[in-house]
Amino acid sequence: MSRKLAAEFFGTFWLVFGGCGSAVLAAAFPQLGIGFVGVAFAFGLTVLTMAFAVGGISGGHFNPAVSLGLAIANRFEWSELIPYWIVQVVGGFAGAAVLYVIASGAPNFAAGGFASNGYDALSPGHYGLLSCLVAEVVLTAAFLIIILGSTSKAAPAGFAPIAIGLGLTLIHLISIPVTNTSVNPARSTAVVLFAQTGAAGQLWLFWIAPLLGAAVGAFVWKLLLSPGESPGLIGQER
């Protein structure tokens, strides 16, 4: 169990440090050319790389919502849920703390939003609460379906991290303007502790919506898409 928890810690550390770091460090300088598309790919690459690196140890969740969805889908032990949540949040905080130390070394540094999530005035596009709630629920549900489908018996073996990483990239391309993209309570909690915009008061949404979305995605997969997880037209059962 300790190896699983260590893997989740390092995976979530990398997700927050790499994904949020791309926003705080690189995207803050337009001349570098990364933009929000680069940030979206950075988040996808963090999951893709760590899924290959430590996914075989812990399952590569790096996200409390993913852990919940996998438990609902009978892919993960309920008894391990809370320990996973704890190390995911702690790992995310560690990633944000290291990022803060680096970022604060710049002249005239101001944390500002520090890649935090929000709605209304704290939404990049000033989207309202309902829009942000729906976006986070729907996109987290889709993320769980991608995860469950790409790791099912019917999927081609060995490609799941690529599908999951690209899925997370697409999610960010859609929702960075809306919520700055959470779909991950650990990621949202980690950076909000350093933000200077009052984002902590909106953190509740970025726990409730991803967890609800994960449950929806898991139930959709379990009840509609995977009776027995039998192979379809492509892929071989394994």
Task: Identify the structural domains of the chain with CATH numbers, from first to last.
Answer: 2-104+113-224 (1.20.1080.10)
What is the C-alpha separation between 179 and 181, in angstroms, rounded?
5
- Among candidate residues 13, 170, 160, the one with its CA nearest the CA of residue 94: 13
Q: Say yes or no to pLDDT of 32 above 70.
A: no
CB-facing half-sphere around the CA of 66: CA atoms within 13 A: 24
pLDDT of 210 above 80: yes
Q: Is the pTM of this model over 0.85?
A: yes
* Dihedral sign computed on CA atoms, order 139, 144, 150, 155: negative
Q: CA-CA distance, 115 to 85, in Å (whole number)?
A: 21
Cα distance between residue 74 and residue 3, in whole Å: 21
Q: How far apart are CA 50 and CA 42, in angstroms?
A: 12
| Residue-wise pLDDT tens digits, 59-110 | 999 999 999 999 999 999 999 999 999 999 999 999 999 999 999 998 888 8
- Higher pLDDT residue, 115 or 237? 115
Confidence at residue 158, expressed as pLDDT on a 0 to 100 scale: 85
| Mean pLDDT on 188-200 | 94
What pLDDT digit, counting tens, does each position of 140-164 carry? 999 999 999 999 888 888 899 999 9
